[in-house]
Chain A
Amino acid sequence: MRDKAVLFGKTKSLVGIITEPTPVFSGNDFPAFVFLNSGFLHRVGPHRLYVKAARKLAEEGFFVLRFDFSGIGDSRASEVESLSDERAINETQEALNYLNATRGIDRFILIGICSGAVISFKAALCDPRVVGVVPINAPVYFDDNEEMRSSVVYDRVARHYWRSALFSLKSWRRAMKGKSRYQQIIRSTTSQIKRLFVRKRDMSSRANNLVADLQVLSARGISPLFIYSGGDRGLDYLQSRLGDEIHELKKYGKLRIEVIQDTDHTFTPLCKQQHLIEILLDWAPGLI
């Protein structure tokens, strides 16, 4: 058995499971993976996906820690009054401190689904020991820009009309009979035509913070691996947020985006869970 239960943190109240790597493969040059809670789901992850991924990564020589933030799963709720993101970042750093103190590991890869994706990215920005980050289905509230969030939702609706309803005879029949929201169709047509002309300028002005954050990580040699379920709203958000910059960032290796089609936010189909793990196994050796 390669899994061990640990209690760590300032008050020894954070519960985690360490998966030891297969000794023949591991070495000091292997960074450790740290899995962060997906919403309120405890450290096994949605559909036990974190356990599966952790054990596969350990077979490839990686040390893995899965743990619960305070107030989630088995960890005690924190008595410290702070914003939850800030607290989660501090606790992630406590996890890194623990692995450093007890196992001598000083390079880490942070990974998480949904809210765990957001914390993984933010903690990577804060802590120089992080050498890799894998935000999975990072949600639309990646930062606190309300205007941007509304814009993503509007773009999504507009694209639906542009791609399907606008060119559907059935939709136009419904519109003629007054059953469709024809105003929405007209507005989306205008919006999409405008996008063709103003996209570059408009999007570059929006990109600011995230691009700056990616530059910070890039300067440290980190190229985040963003993984999304096809159709996940977070993917729309990332694409809208980065606009045309996305191609430049990918071209210069500052960002990698993998999209897994035909799956939901938590990777319910087993074959999609397997696909996700295969992406990780393919990507991780590049960090050794």
Chain B
Amino acid sequence: MISEYDMMEPFYFGNSARSLFGIYHPPQLEKARNVGVILCYPMGEDYIRSHRAFVRLAMLLSSAGFHTLRFDYYGCGDSEGDSDQGEIRQWLADISTAVEELKGGSDLNQICLAGLRLGGNLAMLAGAERGDIDGIVLWNPVINGRKYIEELTTLHQEKIRNFFPGVKSFSEGESYREALGFPLPDSMLKDLEKLDLYAIRQKPASKILFIESSDVSEDGRFREHLNSIGVSLRYKHIPGFEPWIERDDWGQGMVPIKVLQFVVSWISEMFP
């Protein structure tokens, strides 16, 4: 029997000077739909920790009949570029490149984007700009960029305090920052500071799943905002598993299977 792994295809695509690494998971033939799903990873350490969950999500989507592409943004993962060269504008262009790549290889009627954390923001921004995205999965997006920076900074400082008592910072220059093993240069900080999901007034997609797997859920205002811009919204809270958070056993590779299954069932229902 052919498994999802047998069919998947790792490859590089896009502009040769800014090649992006991707893995295409074709749909299982008997269930194939003319719908493509592009997975939008989060950034930095969130990306490393959630990679395994994304592999599993792609497998489940492929089994459910979706053409699925997961890829690394410029300066991330296996893609071209250094880790300090990432920019939101570039990553949005990368999502567009991925959309064209997936459409180019298959005769697709509809495209969905599914993003975790910052990947959710990128999916929303790309959808609002392009105007041709049919569905979006927002999995614990970064609702406010400034709070996200605070969160990253706090986690980084905690790690330094825990591992290296007495050391205040490892940054070599005053203007250069880092978070959890990844650079956080000024250009990226400026980009992140501007992130505000409430500022998106253009409908990014007609159908959106907003799913949260953190213990504490959003207070409801963001859901109101999504409704106010005319989105058909489904909200789901499945607490208990945040793959982007460092855990004592994070090396054991657990994935939040209930969250992934809900995402696949929602996309399957919305895009039959």
Q: Interface of A with B (CB < 8 Å)? A: 1, 3-7, 13, 15, 17, 39-44, 46-49, 51-52, 72-76, 262-264, 266-273
Contact of B104 with A by CB under 8 A: no
Interface contact B3-A273, CB-CB below 8 Å: no
Across the interface, which residues of A come within 8 angstroms of B21, CB to CB? 3, 5, 17
Across the interface, which residues of A come within 8 angstroms of B48, CB to CB? 41-42, 44, 46-48
Interface contact B78-A3, CB-CB below 8 Å: yes
| 6 pairs of A and B residues whose beta carbons are closest in the complex | A47-B181, A76-B5, A269-B170, A5-B10, A40-B253, A39-B251
Interface contact B181-A74, CB-CB below 8 Å: no
Using an 8 Å CB-CB cutoff, how does the interface string of B233-250 with A read, 1 for contact, 0 for none?
A: 000000000000000001
The interface residues of chain B, by DSSP majority, are classed as: mixed
**From A44, which residue of chain B is reached at the shortest CB distance?**
B77
**From B176, which residue of chain A is reached at the shortest CB distance?**
A270
Across the interface, which residues of B come within 8 angstroms of A48, CB to CB? 48, 76-77, 83, 181-182
Give residues 157-198 of B contacting A (CB, 8 Å).
Answer: 159, 163-164, 167, 170-172, 178, 180-183
Across the interface, which residues of B come within 8 angstroms of A44, CB to CB? 48, 77-78
Tell which of B11-19, B112-120, B125-133 binds the partner.
Answer: B11-19
Across the interface, which residues of B come within 8 angstroms of A43, CB to CB? 78
Interface contact A268-B159, CB-CB below 8 Å: yes
Across the interface, which residues of B come within 8 angstroms of A263, CB to CB? 163-164
Give the shortest distance, in Å, between A112 (CB) and chain B (any CB): 14
Interface contact A17-B78, CB-CB below 8 Å: yes
15 further interface pairs, Cβ-Cβ under 8 Å (given A1-B17, A40-B253): A5-B12, A15-B10, A40-B251, A41-B48, A42-B48, A44-B48, A44-B78, A46-B48, A47-B180, A52-B83, A73-B55, A74-B23, A264-B164, A269-B170, A270-B172
Across the interface, which residues of B come within 8 angstroms of A5, CB to CB? 10-12, 21, 78
The residue among A7, A41, A72, A273 with the most chain B CB atoms within 10 A of its own CB is A41
Alpha-carbon separation in the docked complex, A264 to B80 (Å): 27
Alpha-carbon separation in the docked complex, A15 to B5 (Å): 10
Contact of B8 with A by CB under 8 A: yes
Once A268-B181, A270-B170 are accepted as A-B contacts, the answer to whether A3 and B80 lie under 8 Å apart by CB is: yes
Alpha-carbon separation in the docked complex, A166 to B8 (Å): 60
**From B177, which residue of chain A is reached at the shortest CB distance?**
A270
**From B22, which residue of chain A is reached at the shortest CB distance?**
A5
Once A5-B12, A48-B48, A73-B51 are accepted as A-B contacts, the answer to whether A267 and B181 lie under 8 Å apart by CB is: yes
Alpha-carbon separation in the docked complex, A44 to B47 (Å): 11
Across the interface, which residues of B come within 8 angstroms of A270, CB to CB? 170-172, 178, 181-183
Contact of B87 with A by CB under 8 A: no
Give the shortest distance, in Å, between A145 (CB) and chain B (any CB): 22
**From B3, which residue of chain A is reached at the shortest CB distance?**
A76
Give residues 13-53 of B contacting A (CB, 8 Å).
Answer: 16-17, 19, 21, 23, 45, 48, 51-52
Using an 8 Å CB-CB cutoff, how does the interface string of B219-233 with A read, 1 for contact, 0 for none?
A: 000000000000000
Across the interface, which residues of A come within 8 angstroms of B159, CB to CB? 264, 268
Partner of A266, one of B3, B82, B181: B181
Across the interface, which residues of B come within 8 angstroms of A49, CB to CB? 181
Interface contact B181-A273, CB-CB below 8 Å: yes
Give the shortest distance, in Å, between A232 (CB) and chain B (any CB): 11
Contact of B109 with A by CB under 8 A: no
Alpha-carbon separation in the docked complex, A267 to B19 (Å): 27
Across the interface, which residues of A come within 8 angstroms of B252, CB to CB? 40
Alpha-carbon separation in the docked complex, A73 to B72 (Å): 14
Contact of B269 with A by CB under 8 A: no
Interface contact B167-A262, CB-CB below 8 Å: yes
Across the interface, which residues of A come within 8 angstroms of B52, CB to CB? 40, 42, 73
**From A71, which residue of chain B is reached at the shortest CB distance?**
B253
**From B252, which residue of chain A is reached at the shortest CB distance?**
A40
**From A66, which residue of chain B is reached at the shortest CB distance?**
B78
Interface contact B6-A13, CB-CB below 8 Å: yes
Interface contact A41-B181, CB-CB below 8 Å: no
Partner of A47, one of B11, B23, B45: B45
Alpha-carbon separation in the docked complex, A264 to B10 (Å): 32
**From B15, which residue of chain A is reached at the shortest CB distance?**
A1
Across the interface, which residues of A come within 8 angstroms of B3, CB to CB? 76
**From A264, which residue of chain B is reached at the shortest CB distance?**
B163
Interface contact A47-B51, CB-CB below 8 Å: no
Alpha-carbon separation in the docked complex, A13 to B55 (Å): 14
Interface contact B181-A46, CB-CB below 8 Å: yes
Alpha-carbon separation in the docked complex, A272 to B180 (Å): 12
Q: List 7 A-B contacts (CB under 8 A).
A: A3-B78, A40-B250, A43-B78, A74-B10, A76-B3, A266-B181, A270-B181
